[in-house]
Amino acid sequence: NRAAMSSGQQMSILRDSIKSGAIDVPLGSALLDGVASQPPEQSESRREMLALVELRRKTRQIQVSTDDREVRAYLRQLGEPICLFGEDAADRRERLKTLIVLHGESAIRKRPAGASDSAGDSEAAASTAGASTSASGAAINKELWYHEGPEALKTGRLWLAEYSLPRARARLDAARAYYANTPDSVRKARHMEWQNNLRSFAIQASQIGDSRPLSYCQVSPDSSQLAVSSWSGLCQVWRLPECELALTLRGHKTNACCVAWHPKATTPEAGPVALASSSLDGAVKLWSLDSESPYAELDGHEPYRVSRLAWHPSGRFLGTCVFDYSWRLWDLEAGDEILHQEGHSKEVYDIAFHPDGSLALTGGLDSFGRVWDLRNGRCVMLLEGHQRSVLSVAFAPNGHHMATGSEDNGAKLWDLRKQVCLYTVPAHTSNVSKVLFQPGSSGAAGISHFLLTASYDGSARLWSHPNWTPIHQLSGHESRLMCADIAPDSRFIVTCGFDRTFKLWAAQPI
């Protein structure tokens, strides 16, 4: 049977592993006590069995792609049959992991030629930033290079440095004061209080938002209004908690992908621009709350899709993610694009800005996240670990934690200071469409008590921050969740989905 075949294959590989030194079971170990006193045949048999246990232990520690096409490509690269009789995808993964133990982990460091996640991977790989390959398969050119930017970029970088450094100092001072003046018992009690409150979150309102699926939602800075975008091309503003339609924004000709509130909109410091939105055809429009027509448009993305956009904390800059493998930074005071940043090898899908305004975090369909220093243009951290496309990214209010959500159904937490992945949350059973930290609950100290994830499996889940244990699951949508948001005052959560509805979740009626 297949299990017997698998054990036989492992024993064959095992003998090669012992000879090559990949598997080592020392004769002096406790596991082999008594082996020397046994007949040679029994001693050798027991040694092989113990080595098999060691092989399986090492195999469990190996991580390989869940994409069967990549697994087959790796097997071909190792000179092994890509499929054995009676073998399915799971068996192939196990065989590959066993072979990697024999050949060394370096065998999976580099993606093999021929592996692809989709039909368009070969074209995407050919367009990788800074890489060039010849028709004969020459080595990739890894030379680092930069574009020469306009004078406005230099001015913008200086302004960003002057803006972000005082904010970083204030945040750190507030965090030190909070931890110095708040006893550990009080901090734990507050955290437990938040968790108990979140466990009682339930649907308080549900509203059909449009005739087509809703693609994005975001709560206004004062928590009084909700902006949603739809595949119909409309963007709408709803009053909360009444869920009454306040304004319909008309201007997009194709699916609207994203809508985002200006950081100072609906506040006493509000300017004429309140919202920004993007669409499938590359249109980016700015809106005021006084008209259904666009206040202004940002040209230059067409014909590429603009999947996401985000406001810089200052409100002066707008970041856009474009499906030409780049992201852009717009200075709205000057009305110009000051930065056209490449670096991802596939489409850039999401962007988030650091609370201080110093960094930008981008996630791409190449499965990587990148952290960019806006003050000098350098990529200061590569977030490597997801198996599939990164669909959502977020900074924590504390300034040093980050989250990414992916098509591999998981969310990863990262530490900017250590530049490592802290934890992988097996969050959902389908694509993770949104990750978001609770807005800072202790003012400038940047204390966040939970992480929100939303998924195509139709649920949103709440996770404790910073120990990442599950708190509560929000289930109620009939189809995939496209987006979710937490009110700035943290009183409620909003989700929107493919079922054309948005829902308000809270511990009690708002």
Between 195 and 66, whose confidence is greater?
A: 195
Find the mean pLDDT for residues 222-246: 96
Residue 135, pLDDT above cutoff 60: no
Confidence of residue 211 (pLDDT cuts 50, 70, 90): very high
**What is the token pair recorded at 48?**
């092989």
CATH number of 151-507: 2.130.10.10
Residue 255, pLDDT above cutoff 80: yes
**What is the model's pLDDT at position 107?**
54
Per residue in 464-495, pLDDT tens?
998 899 999 999 999 999 999 999 999 999 99
Residue 301, pLDDT above cutoff 50: yes
Confidence of residue 270 (pLDDT cuts 50, 70, 90): confident
Q: Of 38-52, 130-144, 161-175, which one has max mean pLDDT? A: 161-175
**What is the model's pLDDT at position 444?**
64
Amino acid letter for position 246: A
Computed over every residue of the chain, the mean pLDDT equals 85
Least confident of 107-116, 171-180, 186-195, 238-247: 107-116
Percent of the chain exceeding pLDDT 90 equals 65
Distances (CA, A) of 148 to 132, 153, 325: 20, 10, 18
Which 3 state secondary structure label does DSSP give 405?
strand
**What is the model's pLDDT at position 149?**
80
- The DSSP element (H or E) to which 481 belongs, if any, is strand 481-486
Backbone φ and ψ for 175, nearest 5 degrees, come out as: -65, -40
Confirm if 442 and 169 have CB atoms less than 8 A apart: no
**What is the token pair recorded at 457?**
């499996």
Residue 53, pLDDT above cutoff 90: no
**What is the model's pLDDT at position 47?**
75
Confirm if 480 and 213 have CB atoms less than 8 A apart: no
Terminal Cα distance for the chain, rounded: 61
- The model's pTM is 0.73
**What is the model's pLDDT at position 66?**
79
Residue holding tokens 């039909």?
A: 119
**What is the model's pLDDT at position 165?**
97
Residue holding tokens 């928590």?
A: 223
Residue 421, pLDDT above cutoff 60: yes
**What is the model's pLDDT at position 111?**
45
Order of all β-strands in the sheet with 275-279:
256-261, 275-279, 284-287, 296-298
**What is the model's pLDDT at position 39?**
60
**What is the model's pLDDT at position 113?**
42
Confirm if 401 and 414 have CB atoms less than 8 A apart: yes
User: What are the residues facing 383 on neighbouring strands?
Assistant: 369
Residue 16, pLDDT above cutoff 70: no
